[in-house]
Amino acid sequence: MSEPDGLVPFEVKRTFWTYFTPESIVRGRHAHHATEQVLIAVAGRIIVTMELPDGAISTFVLESPHVGVYIPPNAWHTMQYSHTAVQLVFASTPYQESDYIRDYSMFKQVWQSK
């Protein structure tokens, strides 16, 4: 599946939803070796924090279903949701546990050694 007019900058291989996440929970807390993602808040508000390998940190507030944020490979990211948030994710790869970097210190080690 590919998106018309370059709305998503990669061929979509997986789509999934996140919803009913308590506001006190921070999700994500990982990076991907290869997967690219676009996150969209189709309802509610999602605060996305992304750290790139060079240490640059960006925060995005998603509150509109026509706005998304691109998460490149090798970017540590977290999401915090409003009570009513529904997140739609487009991903460039099928799910593979081996693509995940779930330990922050490992994320820092992997990218500092390159």
- Cα-Cα-Cα-Cα dihedral sign, residues 98, 7, 9, 81: negative
Question: Catalytic site residue 66?
Answer: no
Are 69 and 114 spatial neighbours (Cβ–Cβ below 8 Å)? no
Q: Which two tokens stand for residue 40?
A: 């969209």
Catalytic residue among 30, 32, 33, 66: 30
Strands 26-32 and 100-101: antiparallel
Q: Where in the sequence numbering do the catalytic residues fall?
A: 30
